[in-house]
């Protein structure tokens, strides 16, 4: 299910500076923060200009439109999530172990790319860019559902639950992390992933 990275830049669009301290990567990060605070639709290029402290023409030195900024940001999140699934497909282990790998990888991506994943989760589908991103996100959910059903068929998971519903509930639990988790640079995301895996496979009730 490989996709050309939406966040990849052609050679002609290698990072250039609008002013000292702002390359394209830094600009993208600030814009995503503004989108997450004010909402993408409510954010104008003028708003971005004020937050960046540069002119709109300096922004256009890096990108052609606000929508291009959105596309680059969403591509960053989706490329990382899809890479988790791609790497899982290369694993020669039972489906239940592949599912655990997906859970851990998805938590890691969410923590490492939290502003970008947050933006993805708040999409409304009001443009072609958003519609395409939402379809890629739905594809991720479908693949997780298929993996759950494969694990059920192999006997690795209980078979009295809906794989389709389970995938949505599982990813919904992971996605909710953006609402309360604050990344700590001194702590890895492993402990958080351990908790999600324990809840997904064992629940809360003591054995």
Cα 13 off chain centre by: 23
| CA dihedral (147, 152, 155, 161) positive or negative | positive
pLDDT digit string, tens, across residues 147-204: 999 999 999 999 999 999 999 999 999 999 999 998 777 677 789 999 999 999 998 8
Helix (H) or strand (E) holding 169: helix 163-175
Instruction: Read off φ and ψ for residue 17, nearest 5 degrees.
Output: -100, 130
Q: Calculate mean pLDDT across residues 8-24.
A: 46
Give the highest mean pLDDT range of 22-26, 59-63, 103-107: 103-107
How far apart are the C-alpha atoms of 171 and 32, rounded to whole Å?
Answer: 22
Please give the model's pTM, rounded to 2 decimal places: 0.84
Is residue 22's pLDDT more than 80? no
| Nearest one of 185, 193, 64, 88 to 144, comparing CA atoms | 88
pLDDT digit string, tens, across residues 78-136: 999 999 999 998 999 999 999 999 999 999 999 999 999 999 999 988 999 999 999 99
Among 48-52, 59-63, 143-147, 149-153, which stretch is predicted with the lowest mean pLDDT? 59-63
When comparing pLDDT for 4 and 113, which is higher?
Answer: 113
pLDDT at site 87: 95
How far apart are the C-alpha atoms of 166 and 100, rounded to whole Å?
Answer: 14
Q: What is the DSSP string of 106-117?
A: HHHHHHHTHHHH
| Nearest one of 18, 19, 131, 138 to 82, comparing CA atoms | 138
| Nearest one of 138, 200, 136, 194 to 170, comparing CA atoms | 200
pLDDT at site 1: 45
Q: What is the DSSP string of 11-67?
A: GGG----SBTTB-HHHHHHHHHHHHHHH-TTT--HHHHHHHHTS-HHHHHTT-S-HH
Where does the pLDDT of residue 8 fall: very low under 50, low under 70, confident under 90, or very high at 90 and above? very low
Q: Is 157 helix (H, G, I), strand (E, B) or coil?
A: coil
pLDDT at site 61: 85
DSSP state of 81: H
């Amino acid at each position: 299910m490989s996709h050309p990275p939406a966040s990849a830049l052609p050679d002609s669009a290698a990072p250039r500076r609008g002013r000292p301290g702002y390359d394209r990567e830094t600009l993208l990060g600030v814009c995503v923060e503004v989108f997450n605070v004010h909402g993408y639709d409510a954010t104008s290029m003028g708003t971005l200009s004020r937050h960046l402290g540069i002119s709109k023409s300096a922004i256009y030195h890096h990108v052609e439109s606000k929508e291009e900024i959105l596309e680059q940001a969403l591509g960053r999140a989706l490329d990382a999530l899809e890479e988790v699934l791609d790497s899982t497909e290369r694993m020669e282990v039972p489906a239940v172990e592949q599912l655990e790998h997906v859970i851990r990888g998805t938590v890691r991506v969410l923590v490492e790319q939290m502003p970008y994943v947050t933006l993805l989760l708040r999409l409304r589908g009001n443009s072609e860019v958003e519609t395409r991103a939402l379809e890629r996100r739905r594809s991720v959910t479908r693949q997780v559902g298929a993996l759950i059903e494969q694990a059920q068929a192999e006997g690795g998971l209980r078979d009295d639950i809906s794989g389709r519903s389970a995938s949505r509930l599982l990813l919904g639990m992971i996605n909710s992390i953006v609402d309360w988790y604050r990344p700590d640079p001194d702590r890895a995301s492993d402990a958080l992933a351990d908790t999600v895996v324990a809840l997904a496979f064992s629940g809360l009730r003591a054995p």
